[in-house]
A and B are shown apart, each in its own frame.
Chain A
Amino acid sequence: MIQPAVLPVALAAIDVGSFLYWMGIVFITYSVAINSSFVVLTVLAMSDYAAYRRRVGFAAYDESFAEPLARGVSVLMPAYNEELTIVASVEAMSSLRYPDFEVIVIDDGSKDTTVSKMVAAFDMVQFPLAQAAMVDTEGEVLATYVSRRGSMNLLLVCKTNGGKADALNVGINVARKELVCMVDADSLLDPDALLHVSRPFADDPERVIASGGVVRVANGSTIAKGRVVKIDMPRKWLPRVQVVEYLRAFLIGRAGWSAAGGLLIISGAFGMFRRDILFELNGIATDCIGEDAELVVRLYRWMGDNDVDGKIVFVSEPVAWTEAPETREVLAAQRRRWHRGLTEIFLRHRGMILRPRYGFIGMVTMPWFLLFELLAPFLEIFGLVYFAVVMVLLGLGEYGVVPSDWVDLPVVLLLLATSIGFSIMMSLLALLTEELSYRRYRGIPALLVAAWAAVEENVGYRQLTAWWRLKGAVDAVRRSRHVWGDMKRTGFTADAPTDSSPAA
């Protein structure tokens, strides 16, 4: 990239007109490539939904509830200072529809009354829960409790603070069931979430090792007792835009990748894994920000290295809802964190890129993510700068300071309009996919809000997120040079970002 200081020299030395022209060509090539790949993903995703719509009528979906192949699930809920919401979350979690599951809350050294609230609300008593030492952990387990209610399938593990990933690792060690489901304490699950996400494990027990589902934005909807009961669009602009962003990312991005056979990310807000495989992988990485995404990449790596014929499946049913940040500061921190996580993953697993051993993931998905996800904010910001420079040159051209044929304004505007037009169309297509498949939103006003969000995200929101993401990538590169893995662990709070990155 050209340093700002050299720019004037460069401008003087070469034919500026043709430089701008070639830069324009670079942007166009990039955006044609990224957009055509989105079109492919959309086609794949939409054909997947068409198939879903067809099978709804006769697939006898409810029957897996009583089927013997349904395997036990341990739901792991790490919690840190969640006294306000923990009881409602656990109640909602315990009333999921599934034949055999337990809920394990792992308290990561909360400083508030999370533990005493739990103990009182669920009639819990201390008992010596056996812990396997299959996955390395840092925090020390202080006490374990079991609820005396029902089938005694609610556990509470209190440990010293070690961060979310460490809490999950402790959970993996104490889990008593074959499948492990990782859930953010603040995600709201659909009652059938476990049934949906565990289905691939029953369909193909020999191969499926992980599955994940769709995460949606809960803002604007009515929430009662830890459940989303009435779905509506948020009215504030940031959450409103994020609803459309999530729909696009999950309904088009993930569904498309999954249909192509190269799903890279399972959201931390809701993912299910085989516990024995997590043992093999030594659990979740504690020295990494996007630990949920890292886990999936590591799974692929493990499969490639050990020639395991495994499958990671995306379930397109909506299963989890998350509270999206409503303020710019929180959103900025979240996006920065996500992109930093993604960059770290690519730095760590760069050896997988373009290696045939890792199959479709190595040859297609990872290079795609590198070019069109990781580098996208750089291109976006660079494009913005380019546009600004063009505008300035245009002004200067008007006054005769520089030659006026350097910049062809109609062409620049045309390209800009085309790119915005494409992005609006993609968002509307995502809305249409939702409308034709799950139809969770009702009423014309909500639709108008969503359609407006598809338009307005192009002005301001996209540029802002690009900037935050760029900073995240820079953070990752800096960190990896100096204090790799030496992050300050502060646990996680309810308003801190959840790792449900809607990246495609």
Chain B
Amino acid sequence: MGDDAFLRVSWFLLVGFAVLSVLCFITLVLTRATKDRLEKRRAVRAATIRGHVFDLVMGEDAEVASAQSWLGATRGSRWNHVEQQLFAMLPKLKGDGRAVIIGVLLARGAEQHAVGLSRSRSAVRRCRGTYRLGMLGLGAHFELIVRLLADRKFLVRRVAVRALGNLGDPRAVRPLLVLGQHDNRLARDLVFALGRMGGGVAPELRRVLAEEIDSGEHLHLDPAAAVLGLLGDTDSVEILAAGLRSENPSFAGACAEALGRIGSPEAIPALVEALLDFRPNVRAAAAHALGAVGSSAALSNLIDVVDEEEPQVSRQAAQALLDLGPAARELLERSESAYAVEALALDKIRVGRR
């Protein structure tokens, strides 16, 4: 009978819920009880390892020797903990200290371990392996990490982006930007990675922008522009100035910001033109950039936008004028714009405070 089947299902569900609830509860109690204790133990262990690492990196000779022998004597799962913590500490270390730790890791086979992890079936392990390869910074694994940019898991791709940043090989520029076009959640990571590679990537970034500037919607090229700005790459002024006219408002804004960071006066004509752009974010970024470039060539153009309707543009223009010397200040004082009044008042308070 249908009713019987229905009752059976109900009973089945009720018993199922009850069993699952009890299991859930038991897991909860067990996790809470054990995790608290585990956490304490882990904290003690971490403190020990940290102590030895500090000894190794900046201790006296005797301390270094004792730390070395301690690290050398750790084996098995204990070493795994040490390895994991050393990798976690690496981003916070610089220079010699970093090199010492990397030396220890390499001597203990961390490289092979990381390669093995990066080929694992588990996405977590692949992430871990990729992260470690990046931290070790060995150029030999460049191809391997580039391949990981195409991993099917987003997290692995993200870690691979950052790992390439640590490697610093300019050949990574193109695959990174291509990935950014397909994967639009990586802007922040791309800026991090490209910025970390340093000045060596600038020519390649310029080449990519030059190729793209005449075609396409310039989707997800913001990181390229932002990084050129961060690098202060004066050679890219021309291409960034062309980028100001991009149809993509986000990219055009990024170009204006980058030009401001570079601060080259050659950009002024293009930035002045961008002050008349129909997109407020481009105008605001251009106003800000003109202030940052610090030339009085654009005063009259800036004072014109102090009066415009878009508040972020007016405010940026007023702020820019404030930074551009006495002539600009005079223009501001004569302006009736609320933003000019605000900028002057704030400046007065700031000066009075000193």
Contacts and interface: CB of A to CB of B under 8 A. Distances in A.
Interface of A: 51, 54-55, 57-60, 63-64, 67-69, 125, 127-132, 134, 146, 148, 152, 173, 176, 178, 199, 202-207, 275-276, 411, 414-415, 417-418, 421-422, 424-425, 428-429, 431-432, 435-436, 439, 442-444, 447, 451
Contact of B345 (A127, A178, A421): A127
Interface in B17-35: 17-18, 20-21, 24-25, 27-29, 31-33, 35
A424 B188 contact: no
Contacts of A432: 24, 27-28, 31
Given A58-B159, A415-B10, A132 B127 contact: no
B219 A439 contact: no
Given A127-B349, A204-B185, A421-B18, A54 B31 contact: no
B21 A428 contact: yes
Interface stretch (B42-50, B239-247, B325-333, B335-343): B335-343
A131 B188 contact: no
B11 interface: yes
Contact of A207 (B127, B131, B184): B184
B338 A447 contact: no
Nearest to B125: A54
Contacts of B10: 411, 414-415, 418
B187 A204 contact: yes
Interface in B303-322: 310-312, 314-315
B107 to A, nearest CB: 23
B184 A425 contact: no
Nearest to A64: B188
Interface in B213-233: 219-220, 222, 226, 229-230
B187 A203 contact: yes
Given A130-B315, A436-B31, A451-B28, A152 B346 contact: yes
B274 interface: no
A421 B349 contact: no
B121 interface: no
Contacts of A54: 123-124, 127, 155
Given A415-B10, A443-B32, A128 B345 contact: yes
Contacts of B75: none
A326 to B, nearest CB: 26
B140 interface: no
Contact of B226 (A69, A203, A207): A69
Given A127-B345, A146-B349, A447-B28, A58 B131 contact: yes
Contact of B21 (A173, A199, A418, A424): A424
B159 A129 contact: no
5 contacts: A130-B339, A206-B220, A418-B17, A431-B28, A439-B35
A330 B280 CA distance: 45
Nearest to B353: A148
Contacts of A431: 24, 28
Contacts of B310: 132
Contacts, number: 149
A57 B91 CA distance: 12
B149 to A, nearest CB: 16
Nearest to A132: B311
Contacts of A206: 184, 187, 219-220, 222, 248, 250
A442 B36 contact: yes
Given A55-B127, A58-B159, A146-B349, A130 B338 contact: yes
Nearest to A147: B349
A442 B34 CA distance: 11
B303 to A, nearest CB: 15
A57 B128 contact: yes
B14 interface: yes
Given A418-B14, A431-B28, A69 B187 contact: yes
Q: Interface centre among A414, A421, A436, by most B CB within 10 Å?
A: A421
Contacts of A422: 13, 17
Given A131-B338, A276-B280, A425 B21 contact: yes
B164 to A, nearest CB: 14
A444 B14 contact: no
Contacts of A439: 35
A435 B28 contact: yes
B262 interface: no
Q: Interface centre among B27, B35, B131, B345, by most A CB within 10 Å?
A: B345
B349 to A, nearest CB: 6
Interface string B174-191: 000000000011111101
Contacts of B339: 130
